[in-house]
Amino acid sequence: MSSFATSKEGYTWSPEKGLQAGLATEGAIRPLSSFAAAQSSKPFDTIVIGAGYAGLTAARDLTLAGQKVLLLEARDRIGGRTWTAQVDGEKYEMGGTWVHWTMGYIWREITRYGLERKLKITPNELYPDYAFNRTNFNGTIFTESFKPNFEMCENAFKRFVDVDGQLGATVVAIPTQVMDGPLVDPELVDKYDRMSIADRIAEVRAKNICSERELAYLIPWFVLSWGARPENASMLELIKWARHGENSFGMLASILWFYKFADGQSHFAKSFFDEAFESGNLCYSLETVVTKVEDRHGSVEVFTNKGSYKAAKVVCTLPSNVAAKVQFSPPLSPLRQEAFSQKHVGQGHKIHSLFSKPEFRSGVWNAWNEPGHGETLELAAAFGDQTLKDGRVSVVSFGGGNSAQNVPSQDPTKIKRWLTQVDPELEQPYLGSIWHEWIADPYAEGHWCMWGPGHYTKYFRELQKPHGNIEWASADWADGWKSFIDGAIEQGGKAAYRITKEWRRRPQQSRL
């Protein structure tokens, strides 16, 4: 029996118990609010909208600086697009999951909270005869054991991203400086932002840069990583990812899906929350939906379903796909409004499925059908994630270019069919699934933020700008690991620093 409160979010399904909504999580803070309605008339120094990692970082840093902060969150839990569900004593990461020491912002926080030795590893070779990477690509199945497959992908990936003979270094010399910096070539950045991954695939095929066997493994990985079809994914973003991983497929694999928290991401998120709350300077209110933000006369008023609140500053961490749901006065710039209306392309499933076959712990499956090669697949990849205490195995699967009109909760039995499309071997030992429907989530409308062609160069600078007394902070437009937890911490910390610096310059008596 879990000691954590139950969130309204997330689903479980099994043939025996059917569909059940709501999952226990350490991120479900109770009570839902820390202050009485009578306190709403008292102004705060800063209001933080959103309790994902950007909002939690901003709230923590501002409260530790001495500011009175109000943290507003629409969900009944903290963590935003990252949270850990607990089912039958086992933990499942419903959103953001993996961490790595090359991500400087997140690693600093991990060591701050003493969690660097509380990690566990996703891939392994517990069953050497079953340690394979299999892909079902355009109806042809390829199977490799781990080591030779990674060696093949390592070499093929380098050739794929080598658009300039220098492994993309002339396009993105420093991965934290894509748009501005001493080594940035705006013409090259624009050229490869306008190029889709599908365009590059066509070029690679035309020049025989990669074999079809190599592409059979790389293309499903692109679909998984973007949550989008290759024609909807920017090549610039892939070059940026490659540069983060020193152009190494193996290093990127280590960064992106090896190491995760033994106690879960929600435990990590609560460390931020607890430190802020223990400062005595934090008020919070969950299940509080922001509808309007008015910036006038040196004060900002935030209107919600529970009332309105005032502060000198606001940190807005709304994800780019849902930010347009909030009215701002004065209005946001036309370019920012356009960016929010365009939305990002990260529209993929993430589903944990349980199997009675222990060997699946060491399997990796990929699948994709290009246009003209069969039906469109809902899932692009799956891999053994963890062995449960009772011997069952959890396999986590991802989709790409999925539709909010076709989510598992409408008919959970189709998950088994989707898995069978990836590999028929996944059918018989299937026991049930656990998931969160990000693409149908009203507070996200997508998973991690990935941009389509032309989006980066057109909107990136604008999205980072403040809007009067409103600071915008989100992983969606981070300089470094954009769309990752590390990027969210980067953005929240920067926003808090700018606000604190200005706040400290004001005379003490003028502070709210």
Banded model confidence at residue 25, pLDDT cuts 50, 70, 90: very high
Question: Is the pLDDT reported for residue 168 higher than 60?
Answer: yes
Banded model confidence at residue 126, pLDDT cuts 50, 70, 90: confident
Residue 127: predicted pLDDT: 84
Mean pLDDT estimate for the chain: 95
With CA atoms as reference, report the closest residue to 479 among 493, 497, 466, 460: 460
d(CA 83, CA 94) in angstroms, rounded, equals 6
CB 32 within 8 A of CB 286: yes
Higher pLDDT among residues 22 and 36, named by residue: 22
Tell me the per-residue pLDDT of 329-358, one tens digit each, with 9 for 90 and over.
999 999 999 999 999 999 999 999 999 999
Which residues sit in the known binding site for FAD?
A: 73-74, 290
3-state secondary structure of 185: coil
Percent of the chain with pLDDT over 90: 93
d(CA 312, CA 209) in angstroms, rounded, equals 56
- Region 231-239: mean pLDDT is 97
Which residues sit in the known binding site for substrate?
A: 244, 398
For the domain spanning 123-257+344-447, the CATH number is 3.90.660.10
Q: Which residues contact 131 (CB under 8 A, 6 or more apart)?
A: 125, 145, 146, 362, 363
With CA atoms as reference, report the closest residue to 157 among 68, 246, 233, 60: 246
Question: Is the pLDDT reported for residue 37 higher than 80?
Answer: no
d(CA 234, CA 270) in angstroms, rounded, equals 34
Tell me the per-residue pLDDT of 169-222, one tens digit each, with 9 for 90 and over.
999 999 999 999 999 999 999 999 999 999 999 999 999 999 999 999 999 999
Cα dihedral across residues 265, 268, 274, 277: positive or negative: negative
Q: Sketch the domain layout of the chain as residue ranges.
A: 25-84+264-333+465-510, 123-257+344-447
Which residues sit in the known binding site?
A: 73-74, 244, 290, 398
- Region 269-293: mean pLDDT is 98
Banded model confidence at residue 39, pLDDT cuts 50, 70, 90: low
d(CA 496, CA 64) in angstroms, rounded, equals 10
With CA atoms as reference, report the closest residue to 313 among 496, 57, 60: 496
Judge if pTM exceeds 0.95: yes
Backbone dihedral angles phi then psi of residue 376, each to the nearest 5 degrees: -70, 130
3-state secondary structure of 285: strand
H or E stretch covering 398: strand 393-399
Pick the CATH number of 25-84+264-333+465-510 from 2.20.140.10, 3.50.50.60, 3.40.50.720, 3.90.1660.10: 3.50.50.60
